[in-house]
Structures are given as structure tokens and as C-alpha cells.
């Protein structure tokens, strides 16, 4: 187990080197999830702005999982790094986790800033912060598998770049992540559809543990955890069956 974790950390640091050498890229990647927060802060009230900070944290984890597909594709098809990892008996799980860790290292400053702003905006417990990170990390694990499957199966560079961007819009900006789920109460079909999206459950749980949704029923909390666990497990099975670690 320790060896697998060490493999993931080394791969993650190796993949993050080009980004760490250019600090401006860190700013751009951080702002990607923070732009909606800025607009909501300017045009809405403080409560909405606080909720949008939760969305920025959840989506930062989500984006780093999805955009691992680009590293998987280029390492496999262009640079042939994956062949070296296969020859060295690196685990596919360690490889996928390491590539996503590289994105997480780069996006970590934005998560820290959002956490600090949330703590300053109202009372927050250590347990609440840990549970927010836990829900976001569980979503991240599921989307790591999705990104790995996309990068390992596509043969086209444009698809490797465009599919994660489309999915990030569908999973991040359209569902009630930055805004409250109650905004869809007048549209029952839209609200039901939103509950099928994993980022919705992660955002709802994160808002609940930060005290923004204190009235969330207990059964919805359990459903949210069960959904995220099931999503991560299902995507793990999907990636193991669809993504070829070694080309036939």
C-alpha cells in the first residue's frame, strides 16, 4: 500500500513540474473555478457568495479529476511515458491517481483561499471542514476514473481536450453547485435531473456541513453519501473495463 501511494506521489509531482515552473498558470487555473464566485459576490447577496465558495471548492476537486484525461492521453499517445510506467510495473490505479494529484497540487492554493474565506465568513468547525474535504475528495476519486477512461480510450487530441471541458460545464456550472438547489423548486423536472448529477450531492453535503443548509433532512445526507460512494465505485469499474492499461 505504501509503495502504491509513493508511486502516485512521484507521478503526480513529475506531471506537475511544467505547471509549477510557470506560476501564472497557477493563477489561471485557480481563477477558473473562482470566476463565478466573483460575479455572484458583485451581483448577489453575501449568503449567495458564501454558497458559491462551496461550489468553487467542490468544482476544483472535480476539474482536477476530469482534466487528468489530458495527461493520460498525451502521456500515452504522444510522449509514450505510459509505456515506461507499464514496463516498470506501476499500478494503473497509482498512475491515474498520480496524474490527478498533479492537478490537485496546482489547484491547492484556490482551495486554501476558499476555505479561509469560508471560515472568516461564519462559524465553522474542524469536523465540518474535514467532512467538506471528504465529500469533495470522494467526488474527485470518481471523476479521476472518468478522466482516466477518457484519456486512455480516445485516439484524438481534440477529443481529449474538448470532452473534459464539456463535462466540466455539464457537471459544474449547470447543476446547483454555485447556487442553491431551491432555485429549481419551481421546475420539478430540472430539480430531479439535478439530483442525478454527483456534483449536486457533493455541494449539498458541503453546504450542510458548513451550516449553510442546517435544515437538510437526515435521509438526504445519507442518500448523498451513498450516491457519491456508489458513483466512485461505478466509475472505478467502468474505467477498469473500458480503459486499456496495456494496448492489445
In a domain, 247, yes or no: no
105-149 residue pLDDT tens: 777 777 888 888 888 877 677 888 888 889 988 998 898 888 888
How far, in Å, CA of 35 to CA of 42, rounded? 11
In a domain, 113, yes or no: yes
Whole-number Cα distances in Å, 141 to 14, 47, 182, 241, 243: 20, 29, 27, 17, 16
Does residue 83 form part of some domain? yes
Q: DSSP assignment, residue 174?
A: S
**Cell of residue 87, nine digits:** 514496463
Number of folded domains in the chain?
Answer: 1
CA distances from 238 to 124, 140, 189, 222 (A): 37, 15, 28, 24
Residue 248 located in a structural domain: no
Question: pLDDT tens digit string along 144-166?
Answer: 888 888 888 887 777 777 888 88
Asked if the structure places residue 30 within a domain, the reply is yes
Residue 119: CB atoms within 10 Å? 14
Q: Does residue 17 lie in a domain region?
A: yes
pTM of the full structure: 0.86
Backbone angles phi, psi at 247, to 5 degrees: -65, 135
Please tell me the total number of residues recorded for the chain in this structure: 248
Residues 8/97, Cβ–Cβ less than 8 Å: yes
Q: What is the pLDDT, as a whole number, of residue 120?
A: 82
Q: What is the DSSP letter of 181?
A: G
Q: Which domain holds residue 171?
A: 2-242
- Is residue 55 situated within a structural domain? yes
In a domain, residue 111? The reply is yes
pLDDT surpasses 70 at 68:
yes
User: What contacts 113, CB < 8 A, 6 or more positions away?
Assistant: 30
| Distance from C-alpha of 54 to C-alpha of 38, rounded to nearest angstrom | 13
- Alpha-carbon span 113 to 142, nearest angstrom: 24
Amino acid at each position: 500500500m505504501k509503495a502504491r501511494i509513493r508511486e502516485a506521489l512521484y507521478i503526480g509531482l513529475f506531471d506537475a513540474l511544467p505547471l509549477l515552473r510557470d506560476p501564472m498558470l497557477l493563477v489561471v487555473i485557480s481563477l477558473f473555478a473562482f470566476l463565478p464566485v466573483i460575479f455572484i459576490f458583485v451581483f448577489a447577496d453575501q449568503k449567495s457568495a458564501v454558497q458559491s465558495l462551496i461550489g468553487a471548492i467542490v468544482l476544483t476537486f472535480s476539474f482536477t479529476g476530469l482534466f487528468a484525461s489530458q495527461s493520460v492521453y498525451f502521456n500515452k499517445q504522444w510522449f509514450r511515458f505510459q509505456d515506461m510506467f507499464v514496463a516498470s510495473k506501476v499500478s494503473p490505479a497509482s498512475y491515474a491517481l498520480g496524474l490527478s494529484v498533479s492537478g490537485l497540487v496546482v489547484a491547492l492554493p484556490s482551495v486554501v483561499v476558499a476555505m479561509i474565506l469560508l471560515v472568516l465568513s461564519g462559524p465553522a468547525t474542524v469536523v465540518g471542514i474535514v467532512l467538506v474535504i471528504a465529500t469533495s475528495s470522494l467526488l474527485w476519486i470518481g471523476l479521476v476514473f472518468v478522466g482516466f477512461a477518457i484519456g486512455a480510450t480516445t485516439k484524438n487530441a481534440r477529443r481529449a481536450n474538448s470532452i473534459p471541458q464539456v463535462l466540466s460545464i455539464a457537471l459544474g456550472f449547470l447543476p446547483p453547485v454555485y447556487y442553491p438547489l431551491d432555485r429549481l423548486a419551481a421546475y420539478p423536472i430540472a430539480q430531479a435531473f439535478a439530483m442525478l448529477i454527483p456534483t449536486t450531492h457533493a455541494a449539498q453535503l458541503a453546504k450542510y456541513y458548513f451550516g449553510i443548509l442546517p435544515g437538510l433532512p437526515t435521509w438526504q445526507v445519507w442518500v448523498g453519501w451513498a450516491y457519491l460512494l456508489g458513483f466512485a465505485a461505478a466509475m472505478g469499474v467502468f474505467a477498469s473495463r473500458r480503459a486499456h492499461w496495456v494496448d492489445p
